[in-house]
Amino acid sequence: MSWLETSIMGRKGVAKGKAGDTHKITIADQGIFHYVYGPYADPVLQVEPGAVVTVETHDAFEGKITKETDTPSEILNFPYLNPQTGPIHVKGAEKGDALAVRILSITPRGEQPVGTTCLIPEFGGLVGTSNTAMLNAPLAERVKKINVDTDGVYWSDKVTLPYEPFIGTIGTSPEIEAISSLQPDYYGGNMDLPDVGPGAIIYLPVNKAGGLLYLGDCHAIQGDGELCGVALEIPSTVELQIDLIKGHGNSWPQLETEEMMMFIGSARPLEDASRIAYRELVRWLAAETGQSETDAYMLLTMCGKVRLGNMVDPKYSVGASIAKRYVK
Amino acid sequence: MSWLETSIMGRKGVAKGKAGDTHKITIADQGIFHYVYGPYADPVLQVEPGAVVTVETHDAFEGKITKETDTPSEILNFPYLNPQTGPIHVKGAEKGDALAVRILSITPRGEQPVGTTCLIPEFGGLVGTSNTAMLNAPLAERVKKINVDTDGVYWSDKVTLPYEPFIGTIGTSPEIEAISSLQPDYYGGNMDLPDVGPGAIIYLPVNKAGGLLYLGDCHAIQGDGELCGVALEIPSTVELQIDLIKGHGNSWPQLETEEMMMFIGSARPLEDASRIAYRELVRWLAAETGQSETDAYMLLTMCGKVRLGNMVDPKYSVGASIAKRYVK
Amino acid sequence: MSWLETSIMGRKGVAKGKAGDTHKITIADQGIFHYVYGPYADPVLQVEPGAVVTVETHDAFEGKITKETDTPSEILNFPYLNPQTGPIHVKGAEKGDALAVRILSITPRGEQPVGTTCLIPEFGGLVGTSNTAMLNAPLAERVKKINVDTDGVYWSDKVTLPYEPFIGTIGTSPEIEAISSLQPDYYGGNMDLPDVGPGAIIYLPVNKAGGLLYLGDCHAIQGDGELCGVALEIPSTVELQIDLIKGHGNSWPQLETEEMMMFIGSARPLEDASRIAYRELVRWLAAETGQSETDAYMLLTMCGKVRLGNMVDPKYSVGASIAKRYVK
Amino acid sequence: MSWLETSIMGRKGVAKGKAGDTHKITIADQGIFHYVYGPYADPVLQVEPGAVVTVETHDAFEGKITKETDTPSEILNFPYLNPQTGPIHVKGAEKGDALAVRILSITPRGEQPVGTTCLIPEFGGLVGTSNTAMLNAPLAERVKKINVDTDGVYWSDKVTLPYEPFIGTIGTSPEIEAISSLQPDYYGGNMDLPDVGPGAIIYLPVNKAGGLLYLGDCHAIQGDGELCGVALEIPSTVELQIDLIKGHGNSWPQLETEEMMMFIGSARPLEDASRIAYRELVRWLAAETGQSETDAYMLLTMCGKVRLGNMVDPKYSVGASIAKRYVK
């Protein structure tokens, strides 16, 4: 765990990246789930920096799609989608700070088949949608229920996919807006980026006192782009360690692992999401190494990496990163 | 004014398009202005369908830019931008209905020069922005204060532009979201579409009981696209007649004049805004005339009209319309 | 017609906007039609600046769709689509000049029903396409044949649309590229912009000696965006007056009428087409009036006009214009 | 090398993936380089399927940028950019076939510093461009010359990047178009996708008899997106094995390695490039495994991978792939 000591959380966290008190939020504790990221809900929990919190999350469908004969459009009730646990108030967090959230573990929760994927009308990467409005008939709705455990995702008799869990939706509250949990943006939200998994630390801008952390929408595995609109959705138990970086001042989510540093942009069209992520990375790299912005720009033209999160949500999400070994 | 009798408002309004009680909301009455479109604010006024309401609006800068030597980035305090009057609660309005808002007049308010336009860093149609993130240096900030009266806009000794006022931002509340008044969307908001002016009726979807009408951001004149990010911004007095269409069920704002019927879409990229607007129009035209959707699609390929509202806001706005004389 | 004397063609044309020799290119004269804009074809005609040329054009389907029971996908043979008459070599034209093409008249040609519109699979503004690739089933193919004369377009017993003809595809050759006549770009091409009609002068950049003017694809009428992918396509006889502006140096097509000056941009996404057109207009306006670029930018935020040509071709086309009365 | 036997080239190639005659094209052999992908140039070489060809390529600047004090905008002469070696005519290739090009090796060529990267005005991912037209001043031009050998890329005293070479631009001729070598499209071209390197086989659609293979623009290393507009550009010696797949019928470039199968889409905006690539992959996966298209779509929402090639060229390029171990 020595890389943690050199991480931003380890070096700059109020708790210096050390684990503090432990807390738990069960489904019952949460009671009422949230469908917007905003400052108008009461915190379900208040914690000190360093807190280790175990959080139970619903799947994105709130567990209402239970069998392959279900019809999503009859069950899902917009805008009451993608239920979020939280918000968690972090003491001392003020506008301009960042919450550091280290993801310790994600475990599937509930009875098999615990995983759900489906086709929802006018939603997905290869179909007309409410925005990319088409006259073509929508694809037929479909549900697939899939067994998942921490050893694998059992797609078929022939194909087992790895269990590569991550948090699809996590973020802080905007200052005065309350935005659908279907959307990703500068505060995080529904980024659907597979890098937001165990071992990573995500730094989320604080826009409102307490930060007000929400999360939900865990995925057992997801391809780049979340092609059909949803991933393999699972209810889960997530273990987080939460720290606070005073005055961190990042405008967009930042993600750190042992190997790399990433920034995450969300926008439409997709090139704008990439531009946001890369501009944040250029500026960070220049500041971190003392290079000029144009030197950083030219270095990234040689070694920058891009991960496509989603190309299906109200904004698309992209992570741009650099291997730490080139940050000198 | 006989066309009003044949308008949707005249035929289907609860008040049959007839004027009812009169009301007024002054700047002082409003007191606290709003920077989000949402259901979390208390109504400033409750009215019956048919009400005629006189509303005072701030300019988009809340009157804080007073002279040409001002520096917008020092004065403007994101997210407290584009202050809105309202919300107005319309009795009987329920989810699935539409508010019909007929714009009777828009008059500049305050001391000359009453109009303001300006260049704000990283905002506008021909510059890098927070989304279309660039490394180029921003343009220098500038403010222009311009005399305006109902006879004209006095750009220079040589050039007087016409006074063509409209409401830049008007809409209803989302059901559970509270979204920045800088953004246009399915409920209206910051569409910046010059057709939303005197003589027009706009039909806004009701997502929440009472509709919760907000408005602000009047413009003395604006080019298509609102090119530099703002128009000629004025404080104003707006006179509206508000009716209620039960079960109207439009998903996006609809606008009617004596001559034409329009739908307004807002999205990025700009083709998606156009697709939304045109798909709504295709479906309306098919339903109205009994033609098939593909007949309507082929008729509009010959006579549809597009008006670009803005290409600078968080979503871009487009109105697609057809002349009523072709709707048979 | 005094405005012609003050037009760019009148003031700067080699022939001073005066009509010179007359020429004719019939379908038989042309013989072999072209499906690319490029420098690899031999000129069908050489003319002096001032030449008045009568040109017969095929419709975009080369006249192969003759009845409503035809199936476009069986008849049309990609890439042999949108046949072009030309190229016309203009003597003295060199890279950096512009051809000035004044459109004198456009007349339908052939037997009734002379107009054709249709739905082609995976082509159009409200359907998935080869670029906006979808899994949805395409719309059913359809053909409509419509009577057209110079008095009107006879859509149905109830609806007659006006005859508002224009040239859908017109341009010069690129220097070394040969690009499909389905595409619009910096040299003109398939812009599908209704302003390119009788009374207008279009200034097309010369990239290759002789300019090499191609044209075709006339439309009897078209809505903004050419929504279903094609307009009302007609074979036609076009009368043009061609002049040459030495050293004009425009990067993109420029269009002038008695009332306004326009620049035409073509790109995807649609906002980029608008940006191109508006940036050219800003720069022209600043140069023409002695204002700074930011003054021009602020004036256009108040009075710029946008016309959507097409939102269906390989690049989308937009014209941005200003009324000449504000150019002082 | 056993995977080659099971590759498409091994199973379906006219030469069954076996190496045949050897050929060489030096810079001197080529003589005149090409700046368009088209059918109007004479082949520099004719080969039988199975041919192993050693090709010398210029760097994208034709070797004209030789020192860090050079000014690219003074040296580079649009449209004479990105010189291509070729075309190579493959005997027996007909429209509807595919060329299979296995990349055996790529070696830097010439004197150190052999690598060039630079900032070119109005070109790059984080600046205004000729399409994303801005009024901001361009970044200052810069050139960096960098030592490269097959052991590494020597960015600075502190940072050595790996040598990860690939072919930036490779493709076949369109049927009748001749398109700038700066552009990627359905026939390949300037895709700038790092997967097109040693060990991979790329299948390129044949649009014209002989296929007419062009290539150039090798990169010593490149980050995802080719952020500043160019990668680390090198002159190189490329060794290829060329086979022919009769009737392969792919619409877009397909790439195979031991581990995965990829399709490459190029379009703007970036989501359309992703849609193209993923739709090709969905259809291939369904056909290959006997699953339905919607099953393939749902499997890829769990395990599809996306590689961003470029976000700077006239069209953006994306590869979408699946690991072969999941293709059952």
- pLDDT at res. D279: 98
- Tell me, yes or no, if the pTM score tops 0.80: yes
In the predicted model, what is the mean pLDDT of chain A? 97
- Decide if A303 is inside a domain: no
- Decide if D272 is inside a domain: no
CA distance D92 to A97: 66
Half-sphere exposure of C327 (CA within 13 A, CB side): 18
Contact assignment for A267 to B268 by CB distance below 8 Å: yes
C203, C249 contact by CB (below 8 A) = no
Instruction: Report the CATH number that the domain containing residue D93 is assigned in CATH.
Output: 2.60.120.580
- pLDDT at res. A93: 98
- pLDDT at res. C2: 83
- Decide if B286 is inside a domain: no
- Decide if B279 is inside a domain: no
Q: Note the pLDDT tens digit of each residue in B126-159.
A: 999 999 999 999 999 999 999 999 999 999 999 9
Instruction: Give the range of the structural domain holding residue A117, as residue numbers without chain letter.
Output: 3-250
Q: Which residues of B touch A38 (CB under 8 A)?
A: 177-178
Instruction: Give the one of A174, A178, A279 whose C-beta lies nearest to B133's C-beta.
Output: A279
CA distance D152 to D146: 10
CA quadruple C155, C157, C158, C163: dihedral sign: positive
Amino acid at C145: K
CA distance C225 to C153: 19
What are B265's strand-pairing partners?
B318
Residue C229 has pLDDT above 60, yes or no: yes
Q: What percent of chain C has pLDDT over 70?
A: 100
D92, D14 contact by CB (below 8 A) = yes
Amino acid at C139: L
Residue B8 has pLDDT above 70, yes or no: yes
What are C254's strand-pairing partners?
C203, C263
3-state DSSP assignment of residue C11: helix
Q: How many CB pairs under 8 A join B and C?
A: 160
Confidence band (pLDDT; 50, 70, 90) for B328?
very high
Structure tokens at B204: 């806004």
Instruction: Tell me how close the Cα of C264 comes to any Cα of chain B, in angstroms.
Output: 15
Contact assignment for D228 to A306 by CB distance below 8 Å: no
- pLDDT at res. C1: 55
Contact assignment for D133 to C279 by CB distance below 8 Å: yes
Amino acid at C175: E
Q: Note the pLDDT tens digit of each residue in A257-271.
A: 999 999 999 999 999
Q: What percent of chain A has pLDDT over 90?
A: 99
- Residue keyed to tokens 């040459």: C244
- pLDDT at res. B205: 98
Instruction: Give the one of D226, D230, D302 whose C-beta lies nearest to A231's C-beta.
Output: D302
Amino acid at A180: S
Contact assignment for D36 to C178 by CB distance below 8 Å: yes
Instruction: Tell me how close the Cα of D144 comes to any Cα of chain B, in angstroms.
Output: 19
Q: Note the pLDDT tens digit of each residue in C13-30.
A: 999 999 999 999 999 999
- Decide if B149 is inside a domain: yes
- Decide if D326 is inside a domain: no
Instruction: Give the one of B135, B177, B278 whose C-beta lies nearest to A36's C-beta.
Output: B177
3-state DSSP assignment of residue C63: coil
Instruction: Tell me how close the Cα of C312 comes to any Cα of chain A, in angstroms.
Output: 13
Structure tokens at B68: 């040409």
Q: Note the pLDDT tens digit of each residue in B93-116.
A: 999 999 999 999 999 999 999 999
- Decide if D323 is inside a domain: no
Classify the complex by whether its ipTM is higher than 0.95, answering yes or no: yes
What are C194's strand-pairing partners?
none
Instruction: Give the one of C132, C136, C269 whose C-beta lies nearest to A137's C-beta.
Output: C136
CA distance D321 to D285: 10
CA distance D312 to D129: 9
Query: Among candidates A229, A232, A231, A234, which has minimal Cα distance to A119?
Result: A229
Q: Note the pLDDT tens digit of each residue in A200-223.
A: 999 999 999 999 999 999 999 999
Q: What distances in angstroms separate CA D132 from CA B230, C194, C268, C314, one per listed residue? A: 20, 24, 9, 17
Instruction: Tell me how close the Cα of D127 comes to any Cα of chain B, in angstroms.
Output: 5
User: Cis (ω within 30 of 0) for the bond into D79?
Assistant: yes
Q: How many CB pairs under 8 A join B and D?
A: 34
Q: Note the pLDDT tens digit of each residue in A97-152.
A: 999 999 999 999 999 999 999 999 999 999 999 999 999 999 999 999 999 999 99
Q: Which residues of C touch D294 (CB under 8 A)?
A: 135
Residue of A nearest to C134 (CA): A126
* DSSP secondary structure string for all residues of C209-254: TT--EEEEEEES---TB-TTS---B--EEEEEEEEEETT---SS-E
CA geometry: angle at C288 spanning C285 and C292, to 5°? 60
CA distance B312 to B225: 7
What are A266's strand-pairing partners?
A317
- Subunits with 3+ Cβ pairs within 8 Å of D are A, B, C
Residue A2 has pLDDT above 90, yes or no: no
* Per-residue pLDDT tens digits of chain D, which is 328 residues long: 589 999 999 999 999 999 999 999 999 999 999 999 999 999 999 999 999 999 999 999 999 999 999 999 999 999 999 999 999 999 999 999 999 999 999 999 999 999 999 999 999 999 999 999 999 999 999 999 999 999 999 999 999 999 999 999 999 999 999 999 999 999 999 999 999 999 999 999 999 999 999 999 999 999 999 999 999 999 999 999 999 999 999 999 999 999 999 999 999 999 999 999 999 999 999 999 999 999 999 999 999 999 999 999 999 999 999 999 999 9
List the end-to-end C-alpha distance of chain B, in Å, as a whole number.
21
CA distance C121 to C133: 12
Number of domains in chain A: 1
Find how far residue A77's CA is from the centre of its chain.
22
- Decide if A301 is inside a domain: no
Q: Which residues of C touch B221 (CB under 8 A)?
A: 302-303
Residue B198 has pLDDT above 60, yes or no: yes
Which residue of C179, C208, C270, C312 is the best one to mutate when testing the D interface, meaning the one whose CB has the most D CBs within 10 A? Answer: C179
Instruction: Give the one of A229, A269, A304 whose C-beta lies nearest to D227's C-beta.
Output: A304
Report phi then psi at A121, rounded to 5. -55, 135
